[in-house]
A and B are shown apart, each in its own frame.
Chain A
Amino acid sequence: MAQSSKGKLNYRCPMCFFRDLDIDMFYDKDKQEYYCLRCQYTGDEKDVLAKNELIRMKYGKMMERITDFD
């Protein structure tokens, strides 16, 4: 089994991001999946991107342009 490497972009572990941790994942080309060194998350690129969308649910006003600050 060959060693893992960073993927084409440095995807972070979405599960760790949920708990405010930035952990770059590594890519296992044999299993074709990203995995986290710290927690138990594994997933392919599609799953990582889907989880990243879930992360955004905490930003309720992320896309709102605010003009009233009072």
Chain B
Amino acid sequence: MNNTFAVNIIHRPEMVPEYAEKVTGQGKAEDIGRKALLTESLDIFKFQQATAHKNGLKTTIQMTYASLFNEEAIQLAKDDHEKYGDEIALSLLGLPCKEFREKYNTKDFCIWMFSMEDKMQIVDDVFGKFHEIFGFYPESTGSYYMDAELTNYIKEKYPSVKCAVATCWEEGPKAYHTCNNSWYTLFDGGPWNPWIPSKQNTHAPAANEAEDSGIVAIPHLSRDLLACYDGNGSNFGTHPQNVLRGMIYDSKTWEFPYFYNLVDQYRHLEKFNNGYSYNMMFVGPGWLNKMGRWEAPYELLKKSYEEGMAYYGDLKKEGKLVDMTMAEFADFYRANKEYTEPECALWKDILYGSDKQLFWYADPYMRAQINMDQGGALVDLRPYAAKLKWEVGIGTKHVQDASYPFLIQEKYRAGYFTHYAGEGTVRSAKISYNGEEVDLCLCRTHAKFKQDGKARKLILDPVEIEFDDLTVKLQTIITFEEGASNIKFERNILEMSNPNAEVTINEYMVACYGTTEYPEDMTGITLTVAGDGKSESIDYAYKCREAEICGGNAASAVIPAIETAVSMTTDMTDAKAYIREGYAFSPMFTLGIEKKVKDKEVVTTWLNLAKAN
């Protein structure tokens, strides 16, 4: 798979595009059967298809339910399949149309939000109609999110399906807020690049054949791994109109180099993934509205689409891109990837000019973000090891919230900096000497990536910690061992201005759980510290209690609400392990291991994740 930049181009003939009725229909009574709306939608689809083909790119045509009632849309798909080899697939987006509304008596349109009973009925309806028209069942499907129960049902009933658009990366509370709290796509916490979802939870990749849902999932768009984490995802993706929505273009020249930088940084990810990299472009017709969108006139919308597609076309001509249909990509992915092989991304800021660098890691046991601008602190952690069953839709406990819960999320739970009191979630280390203390979160640095067999290492540039009368040069190395469900942190004391000095390294993790910015009830969590033949536990009750064991080698927490066990361990015999309960104003817990070290010594700890039943 060396040097393969795989690209999926997807179009959908959406007869009632999202936004179009709300935007172009402003001042008119709602009528989703308006002929002008249907005609415009098809025109946009034709334009998108023609633009891809002009650039020598094949597409996946995701037929919508509405389009299955439109003869012209059906014929267009058949013709393009015949002429260009485009795949005819079936989207679960684009449900709204007169026929759907009359049949289901609802304005709901997001498949994951329906009751399971309705999901099954709708799937059978659209797959049945598709088969009636095309004479076969599709190999690819998708939506903005596909919950595990939905995917499992589809795979069981329609085994031909092998690929699905299954999430939009980090589209959660941030997108909800950007849309004035009216866009209910709440599914943070998934992988950013393709993966094989587990049967238990879509976000969490399968660890083996038994967990394999049977499909290859692809994300809806390829998102900026830095900008999207602290901003509206729909401004920073491989979707030219997203870039316009973010106003990331010159308003006079209409140039938008950021889009190309984004594509190229995704191509660069081959360095960390055995030569493979990926992009997905999927622009819904509502974004190419003839009346313009997001301050941009139609001419600019059109130009951006044409130029974005032309860039992919040029890369293909240069032999730097392989365009695939979704089904072809699923075959390629399965032929080249192993279950436990992680997805890695050492990512730099390409938009704001900050010089910040992040590292993202995802495998069947976790998704993690390391922030080099905070000294290699772990600032986002999703414990996939729990493979949490998290049903969504009407009739479940989570009608809209499909996010995979976090243990650490620096934007929703403060991270290093908090106001006045309390702590935020982060996993870092504090170095202390003679009453002074420095957190590595304040030691800005960069890292290099290294792969040693099954180990992916992040080797950070050394940092200098200045105390009143001592300078310590320290290097952090973070290792992700494939299939190990842990992260190893090594702090190497490279140099001390006083070789006889002794400093204390406090390795700590402040964590909680949740999916949004708002706190959850921590009652039920059990904290345990152990080692040296001793053990002590605290049942969380917001009482600000602490416990420690000198000679301890493990501090752990069991969080029943998300069936997760997390621990910090060490192989050092002379360390101190501790646990700290939080309080109502700081609903967190802390796990830590503390050790005194001298020059040239190393402190090694592991953060471990497991399912807790």
- Count residues on chain B whose CB falls below 8 Å from chain A CBs: 38
Cα–Cα distance between A53 and B293 once the two chains are bound (Å): 17
CB distance A52 to B251 under 8 Å?
Answer: yes
Q: How far is the CA of A28 from the CA of B353 in the complex (A)?
A: 38
> Of A22, A63, A66, which one neighbours B178 at CB under 8 angstroms?
A22
In the complex, A24→B174 CA distance in Å?
18
Residues A12-70 near B (CB distance < 8 A): 12, 17, 20-24, 38, 49, 52-53, 55-56, 58-67, 69
Report the minimal beta-carbon distance from B178 to chain A, rounded to whole angstroms.
5
Shortest distance in angstroms between B153's beta carbon and chain A's nearest beta carbon? 34
**Interface status of B129 (Cβ within 8 A of chain A):** no
Bound-complex Cα distance A55 to B351 (A): 13
Q: Are A10 and B247 interface neighbours, CB within 8 A?
A: no
Contacts A12-B295, A20-B231, A52-B247 known; A65 to B27 CB distance under 8 Å?
no
Q: How far is the CA of A46 from the CA of B349 in the complex (A)?
A: 32
Give the chain A neighbours of B293 by CB distance below 8 A.
10
- In angstroms, Cα B352 to Cα A49, docked, is 21
**Shortest CB–CB separation between residue B201 and chain A, in angstroms?**
29
**Are the CB atoms of A53 and B178 closer together than 8 Å?**
no
Give the shortest distance, in Å, between A28 (CB) and chain B (any CB): 14
Q: Is the CB of A60 within 8 A of B294?
A: no
Known: A9-B292, A10-B292, A20-B231. A63 touches B247 (CB 8 A): no
A65 near B260 with CB under 8 A, answer yes
Check B352–A20 contact: CB distance below 8 A. Answer: no
* A-B contact list, 24 entries, CB within 8 Å: A5-B26, A5-B27, A6-B26, A6-B27, A9-B291, A10-B292, A10-B294, A11-B295, A17-B247, A20-B178, A20-B232, A21-B178, A21-B180, A22-B178, A22-B180, A23-B180, A52-B247, A56-B247, A60-B352, A60-B354, A61-B258, A61-B349, A66-B264, A69-B264
Q: Please report the number of residue pairs spanning A and B whose Cβ atoms sit closer than 8 angstroms.
A: 87
Query: Would you list the 8 A-B pairs with minimal beta carbon distance, nearest first?
Result: A60-B353, A69-B268, A65-B257, A66-B261, A61-B353, A6-B26, A9-B292, A69-B265
Residues of A within 8 A of B79 (CB): none
B255 nearest in chain A by CB position: A63
CA distance A61 to B256 in the complex (A): 11
Chain A: interface residue total (CB-CB under 8 A) = 30
When distances are taken between beta carbons in the complex, the residues of chain A under 8 Å from B180 are 21-23, 38
Distance A59 CA – B489 CA, assembled complex (angstroms): 34
Please measure, in the bound complex, the distance between the C-alpha atom of A25 and the C-alpha atom of B27, giving whole angstroms: 14
Contact of A22 among B23, B27, B179, B265 (CB under 8 A): B179
Complex Cα distance, B87 from A1, in Å, reads 54
Chain A CB within 10 Å, residue with most, of B247, B250, B251, B292: B247
In the complex, what residue of chain A is closest to B352 when comparing beta carbons? A60
Contacts of B264 in A (CB 8 A): 66-67, 69
Residues of A contacting B247 with CB < 8 Å?
Answer: 17, 52, 55-56
Among A22, A58, A59, find the residue whose CB has the most chain B CB atoms closer than 10 A: A22
B248 and A59 within 8 A (CB): yes
Return the CB mask of B3-36 against A: 1 if under 8 Å, else 0. 0000000000000000000010011000000000
Report the minimum CB–CB distance from A38 to chain B (whole Å). 7
